[in-house]
Structure 1
């Protein structure tokens, strides 16, 4: 092996860069356990509550073991006594050794975290003698650098367990891990912007099917609503423009190491226009040979 950590074995031999490493961290109550189980479902060997100091050793073990261990996920927990805030240093050490880790940060709104802790009647691990919100605030400060280092941030505020599992499976299951994966996410502006969006598209310039009595109770996934939305002046041009933009920048994102792109499409409530646009945009991106999947954050919330 060279000084830079690059393998110098013969042609065809597996290298450290062939080992798929995923590092999962995030706020307590955000859904790390669900992410870990989802990664197991798509073939990852998952090491939970790993001390940060052992990340490099674990990566070397995975590389040496080969086989199923070549897909390993390491879940870091702030509650571990060995947790350090120097995640950037630990990730850089892995890269210097020749690995290419991907960092996933699981997050959620403070209000959602409070409800989750209260529902199971648990205190926050950093709460001490203070209030629940004090523990959440302390943890966010501790994890600031980890969030900044993340390759993908999964906000679970409006995701149930099954939706979170599907999100992880879309990101890490099946297809070539080096390809850009695009999530086209519909949402309602009245429920807030998705914090993990890379692009935000506003579909509110189109007439709202809510004001058409026979369409009001239906959704943008149904043909009548979709036909109404896509048949409006400017709708197809809007979709084509953004499909072209995303398609033309995909190769650049891949070259720069970005693997996950979230395109958020919003309307008022996230039921009609944004849903129809998201479905059609994802379909057109797939026709352009991109890995694209529609998701609907606020569908059914009204």
Structure 2
């Protein structure tokens, strides 16, 4: 049997050999968000943007392949692209099926999310915002909805997931989108642990505030006074104080039932503030220790030392 010819590449589109050669886990990803007008495409796009996807709304389908070709693997570039494609692109929308085939031939990993809702729900939503359906022209709103269903039927059949939003709140939809895009084992929550000095005031954006002034202050130890909680001698001193390590471990245990609740309630960013007198020694050392423990338990955590250097 003769060797198959290489896939035809549309004019002006580079063959994405570097992307295709990468391990599956490292390849750039594309999500196509489509579906019925009024079914939640904009909300889905907003959720994906919050999840650090690069989102393009109302993109002409022919622009999808060049845009996907610009994705850069690795940590320094954009590797997750979400595009909202729908009937607003009018005659360009007819190109979408062919464009999807081009993506497949170029071995670009993509998934299709189709948003749907009942006719009654869509009518009610359009009436609430007092806008016409984009395809109703001079006819009734239902005429536009039925026409859109016919135009989208083939895409609905190709979708990796169809989300019926008829009885969903915006929070329900956000949860469904997060579940669809979340990587296996990924806990979609970002925590920032902030050290601060009480004498400079509380952090206004703190969700949790911890007072660690119950520990002895390294400031009164002459050889430690000029150092900070990021320096090993201070860190060892603070964590070696009676109750310090036990406090960190018990606080981590206390967070275990709390953090999944933040994910469930769509609060993906949480700030934990740890304060001592000046924000230089105890709070800094315990901020680093607590953040390390959070990361060990599978959540992302960064540190910020707000008042370090102010004294």
Contact 2:86 2:93 in 1 (8 A): no
Provide the C-alpha distance between the structure 2 equivalents of 1:170 and 1:150, rounded to a whole number of angstroms: 16
Shift in Å, 1:38: 0.7
Contact 2:62 2:96 in 1 (8 A): no
Q: State TM-score, norm by structure 1.
A: 0.53
Provide the C-alpha distance between the structure 2 equivalents of 1:150 and 1:167, rounded to a whole number of angstroms: 15
- The partner residue of 1:113 within 108, 122, 125 is 122
| CA spacing shift, 1:120–1:38, aligned 2, 3 Å | same
SS, match of residue 43 in structure 1:
coil
Map of 1:132 onto structure 2: 141
Shift in Å, 1:39: 0.8
Provide the C-alpha distance between the structure 1 equivalents of 2:125 and 2:55, rounded to a whole number of angstroms: 24
Deviations 1:99-129 (A, max 9, x none): 0110111000001000100111111011111
Deviations 1:144-188 (A, max 9, x none): 1111111110110010101101111111134379xxxxxxxxxxx
Map of 1:7 onto structure 2: 17
Q: State TM-score, norm by structure 2.
A: 0.51
Q: Which runs of 5+ in 2 are unaligned?
A: 8-14, 187-311
- The partner residue of 1:37 within 40, 46, 49 is 46
Provide the C-alpha distance between the structure 1 equivalents of 2:117 and 2:72, rounded to a whole number of angstroms: 33
| CA spacing shift, 1:66–1:97, aligned 2, 3 Å | farther
Map of 2:56 onto structure 1: 47
Provide the C-alpha distance between the structure 2 equivalents of 1:101 and 1:156, rounded to a whole number of angstroms: 22
| CA spacing shift, 1:36–1:163, aligned 2, 3 Å | same
- The partner residue of 2:110 within 76, 84, 101 is 101
Are 2:77 and 1:77 aligned?
no
Contact 1:42 1:172 in 2 (8 A): no
Are 2:100 and 1:87 aligned?
no
Contact 1:105 1:153 in 2 (8 A): yes
Provide the C-alpha distance between the structure 2 equivalents of 1:32 and 1:10, rounded to a whole number of angstroms: 29
Provide the C-alpha distance between the structure 2 equivalents of 1:48 and 1:90, rounded to a whole number of angstroms: 17
Provide the C-alpha distance between the structure 2 equivalents of 1:162 and 1:170, rounded to a whole number of angstroms: 12
- Aligned pairs for 1:111-260 (under 5 A) are 111-175=120-184
Measured on the aligned residues, the alpha-carbon RMSD in Å equals 2.8
| CA spacing shift, 1:123–1:65, aligned 2, 3 Å | farther
- Aligned pairs for 1:14-29 (under 5 A) are 18-29=27-38
Contact 2:39 2:116 in 1 (8 A): yes
Deviations 1:252-299 (A, max 9, x none): xxxxxxxxxxxxxxxxxxxxxxxxxxxxxxxxxxxxxxxxxxxxxxxx
Shift in Å, 1:68: 4.9
Shift in Å, 1:56: 0.4
Deviates more, 1:137-146 or 1:56-65: 56-65
Larger Cα-atom Rg: 2
| CA spacing shift, 1:33–1:129, aligned 2, 3 Å | same
Deviates more, 1:13-22 or 1:46-55: 13-22
